[in-house]
Structure 1
């Protein structure tokens, strides 16, 4: 075996952990404020990342102090479905043991930030006591399974959600280590914990404890989404495995299976890249688990375990080609696959505002900027949601746009709820700009160890500028996505957005600066609202303060030269980055301060 084929250190740690027991068990209660690197790599499987406050890192180092360590804990919530008590328990944990904020992720789950290591066992146990779990919310396994969150009562959505729930249960890790470590060995009657169930495709690499994952689990994380062709709100093409519903004569007859999506990249490594899912085959609903096992086991056995930067399934699909990968999957299945059926994605819905469920009840989508639930100034969002769940005790669902849907609402409550939101300064969808509605950011600074610059804390400033410029151009109602990340890992899915902003370098504070200092960004243009096309790299190392001026001439040309029904992403894709750059250069040469002058 050559050096380049040697398993990475993480692979050795996974094997030595004895099915996720080792390292964490020895360090969880040792009184230290942080875990070792080995333990941290196993801790991820249990749903937690070790972080530190980067705002104070330099000052603490100068003072001879260690980093200000804390833990991020992520819950696994298939399809984003929660009860009132599950929401309220996360809220209590955030207030009592976290940093007094709750964050909704782009994968329909909750994150708690700022939890001290010694409090981690308490947090995990309390999450399980309300029948949720943190197991496999992170790590080299199947992550939280996505499904359209809209609680519309129809057979198609109900059956797709049932398929997603079954998939999530089937592919949860089956080791007992989770409850041995965190639940005192007690099996809480929690449907999200591993349940005895047979695998469908026995293979030589299976083990008794983990018949799907084996001793080493997967080469890297694995993400699955279920979606509708007329509403791709789960961004199915960006997932390792996607199930796109095929609807015929008003019935859900099965799914087109997509494989190989994934958006993270390493700019210094030209062998890494974002990639959208490719059509693999069609399966009936009864075949969902079998095709899932075949794909995951093919990835388990063939994926790159030497270089974690190239370990995602997208690289296996790209290197082999989709036809060769399909042949491998068919070897695991033991039979040929059926070709995908014509089934284009045509739309997307964020489900914000008031809607009928179809059963006499209503649901309300409340937009939450960057998914951050907190009380700050006049905005008392955390208090408002706490009051709503305590008062009405309704279930809810989390969206992939980092927002929340309140479900099963009596129409008689509508005015009361609207008034309560207004009293707490919570913006309803009718009162926010279109560009803000469709924008999102990753957390980045100060907690993410991978971030190279700001994201969540500075995107609102950028949106303030964009709102003004779009209003001047008469484009305030134009729908397009703006997604920002603090590093190239792309957690907020910038690479298939209409406008993607990816952190490139840190900023330096200047006299008079207030608040977080943003750095430079790689600007991507030409993705799509429905998520089926990658954006193109338009310009690198663009300073934060230059982003809106860089975009303005392009918006101006879009207004005058767009084709009928053409979206902003479609326009940018049609012109291409060289033509777009020429438009901006011409506007600057003509002395147009904000790009609103017509360039030809």
Structure 2
């Protein structure tokens, strides 16, 4: 295929001069709040998404004004770990250049919203002064590497975190475009060096994600990623990783060739080979992934096109060593453990419930002020979880009482004032800024979870932990297809209802009913809760019950994912 026959996204990458494009000219154009069209694609590689306030579109159109353009900026923060000084720096940035809030994402990092074009450069320069960046947080490259954050296992968490950082650094794009565009650094001639020795001028066909889990905990939903690394422990150490490949949550309504997929476990590598192994796998996708159809360009489709035996052969060829046989493991839970815990080194950790990951000062809860106060006296770390919650980590015995006093003063209890359902729920941002949103998500979740919990309480299961995921569209930001109950937006007030994932992240749910409103959602859930309360086995989760009872049938193939179990009517 000739260069001119490639999709526009591929042409833009190849002609971008290694992601420089005309970004500097776009930033200097004060006549518009937007970037040039081609630069909006390139800006994603730099961690930015151009958005506008959808609730102001019609008003501004009538006023003959351009949309209210603004940007979302996402950090590259492997493992979700940062220092108290970095926290305080980000807290200050939120006021100076964004909407005054910090948002914790399901990729274990921060997003800043409502950043205007003129504030992008100073924001990124402040991030650089904090030792942070947004390089590769979006775009057709490896994204933020996420990890398990179970605070009980700090020694092995440290090893996993080190591997996350190493993988992130190895798979980070190298071009000087970031420094030249945002930090005003002069171009440097590096004789004999390639600008992008790994990615080349083509980069990857689509985004690429890596996650690491420490069994039996799976709070990062490891199998939802292009590469899932499952740590294998022996004698108190991590001896290596089982590798699973081809996970991904995104799909498109009505296009049966698109579907979510769990990563397939394919083999084991020793710990000292894991970074090289990830590079080899990303290289296979770089060289063999589809570049003619972006809807078919994720690694999961490459694997389904060529097969796992083909992948294992390619891995042995690129890596130089074949995969070893899989080691035994079990993934049992994917939730967070709230409240205080003590790790195997005697340090304390406090996991706080952060509804939808949104950190700001609310009328009844001065959450942002409280966390700023904690950061001012804390000497350990902050750890973001993939469930949009926050761990005050590495607290000494001496600090614990002072932090607990702040927790009590600001009402930051362990979530006991909210239901188990709400504490384990995940949502995406959706309206008003996400251009893909079809229905509400973050703003709707509190109301929805309250009504669903009321049904559960009436059925006598109000204390049960059931995973609820809500997404404003069919894409996977809230990992909806791994929820025991999940909604994906179809239109304002209308959702698809999915049921039946398990609590360990080992099974996708199924489409139960499509394009229904809240009344129908609650009407469908009520008898299922009542039957679950009567017929469940001891310690059986809601999703497992739905499968065992035959309410949810197993998939026979990807084509099933678009077929509702209950027809409309």
Alpha-carbon distance in structure 2 between the residues aligned to 1:346 and 1:468: 27
CA gap of 1:456–1:437, structure 2 versus 1, over 3 A, is same
Q: Does the 8 Å contact 2:490/2:515 carry over to 1?
A: yes
Equivalent residue number for residue 216 of structure 1: 202
Whether the aligned pair in 1 keeps the contact of 2:288 and 2:302 (CA below 8 Å) is yes
| Aligned match of 1:510 | none
Corresponding residue of 1:176? 176
Q: Does structure 2 retain, via aligned residues, the 8 Å contact 1:364–1:405?
A: yes
Residue pair 2:33, 2:116 contacting (<8 A) in 1 also: yes
Residue 150 of structure 1 contacts residue 405 of structure 1 at CA under 8 Å; is this kept in 2? Answer: no
Structure 1 stretch 84-93 or stretch 126-135: which is displaced more?
84-93
Alignment correspondent of 2:134: 134
Report Cα offsets for 1:531-576 as digits up to 9, x if no partner.
Answer: 1101011000011343222211101111111123221011122334
1:489-534 CA distances to partner (integer Å, 9 max, x unpaired)?
Answer: 121001011111111112xxxxxxxxxxxx1111110111111101
Distance in structure 2 (CA, Å) of the matches to 1:563 and 1:152: 29
Please give the per-residue CA displacement for 1:90-141, whole angstroms capped at 9, x wherever unaligned: 1111112211111000011000000100100000110111001100111111
Shifted more, 274-283 versus 538-547: the winner is 538-547
Match of 1:529 among 499, 503, 508: 503
TM-score (norm 2): 0.93
1:201 matched to which residue of 2? none
Report if the CA contact (8 A) 2:427-2:478 is conserved. Answer: yes
Q: Does 1:317 align with 2:291?
A: no
Partner of 1:232: 218
1:451 alignment partner in structure 2 = 437
**Matched residues in 2 for 1:30 and 1:364: separation?**
46
2:232/2:242 contact within 8 Å kept? yes
1:348-367 aligned within 5 A: 348-367=334-353
Tell me, yes or no, if structure 1 residue 373 matches structure 2 residue 359.
Answer: yes
Query: Per-residue deviation at 1:360?
Result: 3.4
Structure-to-structure mapping, 1:57-456, within 5 angstroms: 57-152=57-152, 154-185=154-185, 208-456=194-442
Residue 527 of structure 2: SS of its match in structure 1?
Answer: helix
The corresponding residue for 2:19 is: 20
Tell me which residue corresponds to 1:597: none
> 470-479 or 109-118, which moves further after superposition?
470-479
1:227: how far off?
0.6
Residue number in structure 2 paired with 1:554 = 528
2:558 maps to: none
Residue 413 (structure 1) shift = 4.2
* Rounded Cα–Cα distance in structure 2 between residues aligned with 1:578 and 1:565: 19
Contact 2:510–2:552 under 8 Å retained in 1? no
In the TM superposition, what is the alpha-carbon distance from 1:273 to its structure 2 partner?
A: 0.2
**2:504 aligned with 1:505:** no
Looking at structure 1, the residues matched to 98 and 408 of structure 2 have their Cα atoms a distance apart, in angstroms, of 27
CA contact (8 A) 1:525 1:573 kept: no
> TM-score scaled to structure 1, two decimals?
0.88
Contact 2:216-2:329 within 8 A present in 1 as well: no
**Structure 2 Cα separation of the partners of residues 485 and 61 of structure 1:** 28
**Structure 1: how far apart are the matches of 2:182 and 2:244?**
36
Q: Which residue of 1 aligns with 2:515?
A: 541
Cα 1:349/1:496, change in 2 over 3 Å:
closer
The offset of 1:578, in angstroms, is 6.5
Cα distance between partner residues in 2 of 1:373 and 1:355: 23
Cα RMSD between the aligned structures? Answer: 2.4
Structure 1 SS opposite 2:394: strand
Tell me which residue corresponds to 2:559: none
Residue 149 of structure 1 aligns to a residue in which SS?
Answer: coil
Render the CA deviation track for 1:418-438: whole Å, top value 9, x for unaligned: 443343343423332110111
The equivalent of 2:546 in structure 1 is: 572
2:103 and 2:378 mapped to 1: Cα distance? 22
Which whole-Å CA distance do the structure 2 matches of 1:223 and 1:6 have between them? 28
Which residue is equivalent to 1:515?
none
Q: Quick one: distance in 2 between partners of 1:66 and 1:379? A: 36
**Given the superposition, is the C-alpha separation of residues 490 and 48 from structure 1 closer, same or farther in structure 2, using an over 3 Å criterion?**
same
Whether the 8 Å CA contact 1:538–1:577 is kept in 2: the answer is: no
What secondary structure, in the 3-state scheme, does the structure 2 residue paired with 1:376 have?
coil
| Residues 54-97 of structure 1: CA deviation (Å, up to 9, x unaligned) | 11111111222110011111111110110111111211111122
Matched residue of 1:225: which SS? strand
Aligned residues: 556
1:462 aligned to 2:448?
yes
Instruction: Tell me how far 1:579 sits from its aligned partner.
Output: 8.3
Q: Are the aligned partners of 1:554 and 1:583 in contact in 2 as well (CA < 8 Å)?
A: no
Alpha-carbon shift at residue 284 of structure 1 (Å): 0.2
Q: Does the C-alpha gap of structure 1 residues 155 and 414 become closer, same or farther in structure 2, counting only changes over 3 Å? A: closer
Change (3 A) 1:577 1:324: farther
Distance 1:17 1:149 in 2: 37
User: How much does 1:245 deviate?
Assistant: 0.7
Structure 1 segments unaligned to the other structure (5+ residues): 188-195, 197-205, 507-518, 589-600
